[in-house]
Amino acid sequence: MLAVHALAVVAVVAAALLGVWQYGAWQNGREDRAAALTDAAPRPLPSVMTSDQPFPGESVGRPVTFSGRWLTSGTVYVADRRHDGRDGVWAVTPVAVCEAASACAQAPAMLVVRGWAPSVADVPDAPRGRVRVTGWLQPGEGSGLSDPDPDDDVIPEMRIADAIQHVDQDLYGAYVISEDSTGATDESLVAVTPASLPSPDASTSLRNLLYALEWWIFGGFAVYVWGRWCRDEVTRVTGVPSTT
């Protein structure tokens, strides 16, 4: 019986440790995926998504590049953005995605996070003219926060539906966090870093997570079989049904 007990202990401990190992592999896989995308070479925006296409979920955090013209009048500010433990705002200005200047007036626009500032008053004026943007592609946010003042240019989160009310042109269903402050000569605007990007989707490296759950289920089953065997042995030896 001691040998059986020892075998049961080994089986349960092994299943638990293997589950922990697979769970760690799942977490590392998510981090590696995010790092791989963040550090990847920028791809042209049209090769990743178009203005009438839903956000491609596998491209969260992917660097993209595109040319266009600033739509200064569409600048909005995203409230409650933290940087170094301080609350502030993101300065977001749309860019009409267009290669030829003559096409910019009708071109769809991409929202571009220019940088962070402690308050709206600290944000420098939006740039004008042509620009080449390189940055990390992100899906719009949508936690359901209400806008306390829909008439101003401050929005509670990076929700495309809120931002489009301030832009006269169609918007992509995404936004781009610029690699550096696109008014970098003005020190009042701080570049938003990859650390500000959302965590990778839970489905990344999902196989490892399922393996972890499988091992833990095996461990639970081993405990059940062990307990059932002990109960049956007590009943067989004593002739009295066990209550354990």
The C-alpha atoms of residue 57 and residue 223 are separated, in whole angstroms, by 40
Q: Which of 16-20, 62-66, 232-236 has the highest mean pLDDT?
A: 62-66
Angle between helix 2-38 and helix 206-238 axes, rounded to 10 deg: 170
Residue-level pLDDT at 204: 45
> Mean of the pLDDT values across residues 123-138?
91
For the stretch 57-84, pLDDT in tens is 778 888 999 999 999 999 999 998 988 8
> Does the predicted TM-score (pTM) go above 0.75?
no
Query: What's the confidence (pLDDT) of residue 183?
Result: 45
Would you tell me how many other CB atoms lie within 10 Å of the CB of residue 117?
Answer: 22
Token pair in block for residue 9: 């202990």
Domain boundaries, the chain: 2-35+203-238, 61-196
Residue 230 has pLDDT above 80, yes or no: no
